Structure 1
Amino acid sequence: MTSHLDEPLLRGKDEEEEKLQDDEVFNDVEEQRLLPRCSTGGASFYSNGSASFWRSCLNLSNVISGIGMLSVPYALAQGGWLSLVLFAMVGAICFYSGKLVDRCMRADRSVRSYPDIGHLAFGAVGRTAIGVIMYTELYLVAISFLILEGDNLDKLLPGTTVELLGYQLHGKQLFVLLAAAVILPTTWLKNLGKLAYVSAVGLIASMALTASLVWAGVAENGFRTGGGNLLNLSGLPSALSLYFVCFAGHGVFPTVYTSMKRSRDFPKVLLISSVLCSLNYTLTAVLGYMIYGDDVHAQVTLNLPTGKLYTRIAILMTLITPLAKYALVIQPITTVIEEKLKRSATTMPMPGNNGLGRVFTSTIIVITMVALACTLPFFGYLMSLIGSSLNVTVAVLFPCLCYLKIYMHRGIHRLEVAAIIGILLFGVCAAVIGTYTSLHQIIGTF
């Protein structure tokens, strides 16, 4: 049987249609025969493959959309109106790199995760490098969710104090703990088909947040039709980093891919999700900047006046978004740790099929995140750092490098190679400049 790698990526229209028909027959047979098993550096997991097309759209949209929406008005204020060109460019690059992740997943049926792609391309070194950076990125993003919850609940319920075991908990720390307690049960779910309902709630919350900004503009500040910076060169690195936060969910893409009943529909799911999220991001960025101008905060909800109904709605929606997104983000981390612990049963026995292993692993991970969220107050700078260093690496550099390594000797069109090299250069520059700027800002706060 001929391997997929032996076939050229670029075909004529008739050849492509014939190939798609052949693939449908082949995949229907193979998907019934093959166990969706993956070996991830000693850890293996099984995909249920239960998520339908539209549930997968919900899950992937929830991965792409999220807390990045709170920062896009601030990013626009940092870079100026012309930075929207960068926003569109970042969105297009991340969509294309998402398609490269899909092609890498289809290159070998043993590939079931992002580290598997690294192993297929660069061996054990590639698996380790991608695994470390991807899991670090997801871990920090999850921490930023808890920081977001703490900040907004503190604004919604200022002055709240609770005494627990002789200690007084108040402000952000109290609400981080409460948010973690609410989020924790969602991390115990493993089936992404069921998580689609949670994702739907998150997407509704995102749209309601945008509607709240419209309400605020009409009822309070009004919309500025003029003014604002056209271009702010000194703020472009921060703006670019935050734009990458909006689109970089690539570490979870393989999880959504392997959960689908028909994984070959992933490119369509990616397109629908990217377009919907891009429209919502753009609307939020423009509205936030038109209302608050250069005074917009790193979290636009912090600009809203206290006590107003639309402020309460906006903050409530902001609180719901991380709740709906958190489980998807940490699932790759939970899975790999859970399976590694199961393989180390001689030193640390772990329950196998009763689900207690996932409960134990998820709980420990959340506890460590709570501890860090209570000590990291720099939401805007943290998001900028994540976007400039880790998001760019996971969403741009790794997909391009792995795709070139896997497919180069099978034949890639020269124009595509040139485009990928250009994307790599852009990604490296964005990562270096953005990381330097973010670290400088964080150090300056001490």
Structure 2
Amino acid sequence: MEEKHNNNSYHELRFTKDEDKAIATAPPTTDSKMSFFHTCFNGLNAISGIGILSVPLALASGGWLSLFLLFVVAAVTFYTGLLIKNCMDKNSNIRTYADIGELAFGKIGRLIVTISMYAELFLVATGFLILEGDNLSNLFPIGKLQVAGLEIGQKHFFIVMVALVILPIVWMNNLSLLSYISASGVFATAIIILSILWTATFDGVGFHQKGTLVHWNGIPTAVSLYTFCFCAHPLFPTIYNSMGNKHQFSNVLLVCFIIATVGYASMAMIGYTMFGGGVESQVTLNLPLDKISSRIAIYTTLVNPISKYVLMTTPITNALKDLLPRGYNSKVTDIIVSAILVMSTVIVALAVPFFGYLMSLVGALLSVTASILLPCLCYLKISCNYNKFRFETITIVVILLSGIAIGMSGTYMSLNKIVHHMS
């Protein structure tokens, strides 16, 4: 897959938020090295993303005490980020997350890492379509439509329309052009938080909801959504290799995780005190549409995912094309493969149009795997600490067991809710 991309394009792209895993498989360019400040910005852009919309739901699901778990998840994922750094320090040839998997467990390790990344990319891209459908339905309530004798709900209609808008951009495949749009991820996140805060403070919504101390049944969902917020680990090897002074990588991670955690916690508390237990899967769906600040937040939410969708599906498309015989690689083949991939995400989005539950499933099943379990397992294998009774080993084993418990319970709860709402 890597050979088919232009290195300069990746150099411009690789630090945008939710497409992080989309370009984590590309080797870093060597023509320049990032400063500490630039790397912090890139790392923050990787960690901050659409999870900002669902953290109020996470807090509402688990109650006020679950906010403590947000900080625990942040601390654990920060630590596993350091484990990735330690793995890379063991071998200077490591360039991607998949390389770490192969160094630890051979071809099977690379395969597991690759599958987990592509699956997460596919489902998050699907989540973008659902997000667009939800917010457009909220902005333009057109009711059900009759198309060729079929009755189509407004949400389904908008999902299809957004996919049709995205499809030509996917065919264009100009990643350098899209990078200028998607690089605004950090600023978009800040605009959303500030706009919603303005809506509450100055536009009459207020902070009147007290909430509930704890919902024990909702803890798995809350932790799954919190984990989804910090799922940038497949990008960390690329960030690490881009630095001029790699010894500062730990400090970069610390700065990025502190700022991102403050942002997520602030949005969670703002949304929960504004709307309480009635907060939607995306807090923008609760905003009053007659306020300018609300519309700024919603429009910002709508614009960002379009370029990110393309960037996340591009590596999947290229991987699929690599599976074809050499003689089948042509522009027509590219168009067909891209169209099939877009159609498949549309089908999943139409079949499972539940943004919060889908992101919870991604967090529990895939983000826990990529951001918690795999870094711990790879580090233990590479460092050979699994047979040594040390505090570090005990800590990692505790994280592993906790991650498995979170993954299993969160996946069960998410699937159960999806099946319940589909029936």
TM-score with structure 1 length normalisation?
Answer: 0.78
Task: Pick one of 285, 290, 305 that aligns with 1:302.
Answer: 285
2:407 aligned with 1:423: no
Q: Which residue of 1 aligns with 2:373?
A: 397
Task: Pick one of 385, 390, 402 that aligns with 1:414.
Answer: 390
Q: Which residue of 1 aligns with 2:95?
A: 112
2:173 aligned with 1:188: yes
Q: 1:239 to 1:47 in 2, by over 3 A?
A: same
Task: Pick one of 342, 345, 358 that aligns with 1:382.
Answer: 358
Q: Deviations over 1:23-56 (max 9, x none)?
A: xxxxxxxxxxxxxxxxxxxxx9654345734554
CA distance in 2 between partners of 1:287 and 1:271 (Å)? 24
SS in 2 for 1:220: coil
- Most deviating of 229-238 and 413-422: 413-422
Paired residue type of 1:349? N
Task: Give, in angstroms, the shift of residue 283 of structure 1.
Answer: 0.9
Q: Deviations over 1:280-336 (max 9, x none)?
A: 111110000111111111111111123332221121111133235434544543454
CA distance in 1 between partners of 2:144 and 2:304 (Å)? 25
Q: 1:99 to 1:212 in 2, by over 3 A?
A: same
Q: Write out aligned runs for 1:54-73 (5 A).
A: 54=37, 56-73=39-56
2:306 aligned with 1:326: no
Q: Write out aligned runs for 1:264-303 (5 A).
A: 266-303=249-286
- Most deviating of 321-330 and 123-132: 321-330
Q: Deviations over 1:111-157 (max 9, x none)?
A: 33222211111112212222222211121111101110111112112
CA distance in 2 between partners of 1:260 and 1:361 (Å)? 35
Q: 1:205 to 1:182 in 2, by over 3 A?
A: farther
**Structure 2: tracts of 5 or more residues without a match:** 1-24
SS in 2 for 1:221: coil
CA distance in 1 between partners of 2:189 and 2:330 (Å)? 38
- Conservation of the 8 A alpha-carbon contact between 1:203 and 1:321: no
**Structure 1: tracts of 5 or more residues without a match:** 1-43
CA distance in 1 between partners of 2:268 and 2:92 (Å)? 40
Task: Give, in angstroms, the shift of residue 66 of structure 1.
Answer: 1.4
Q: Which residue of 2 aligns with 1:48?
A: 29
CA distance in 2 between partners of 1:61 and 1:160 (Å)? 39
Higher CA-based Rg: 1
- Conservation of the 8 A alpha-carbon contact between 2:199 and 2:291: no
SS in 2 for 1:230: coil
Q: CA RMSD in A?
A: 3.2
Paired residue type of 2:205? N
TM-score with structure 2 length normalisation?
Answer: 0.82
- Conservation of the 8 A alpha-carbon contact between 1:55 and 1:196: no
Q: Deviations over 1:200-248 (max 9, x none)?
A: 4222221111112212212222113x73211221111111111111111
SS in 1 for 2:138: helix
CA distance in 2 between partners of 1:340 and 1:63 (Å)? 29
- Most deviating of 413-422 and 207-216: 413-422
2:66 aligned with 1:83: yes
CA distance in 1 between partners of 2:101 and 2:228 (Å)? 22
Q: Which residue of 2 aligns with 1:21?
A: none
Task: Pick one of 228, 235, 239 that aligns with 1:245.
Answer: 228
Task: Give, in angstroms, the shift of residue 261 of structure 1.
Answer: 6.3
Task: Pick one of 145, 170, 191 that aligns with 1:208.
Answer: 191
Q: Which residue of 2 aligns with 1:349?
A: 329
Task: Give, in angstroms, the shift of residue 399 of structure 1.
Answer: 0.6
Q: Which residue of 1 aligns with 2:409?
A: 433
| Identity between Structure 1 and Structure 2 (%) | 42
Q: Deviations over 1:64-98 (max 9, x none)?
A: 21111111111111111111110000011111112
Aligned length: 393
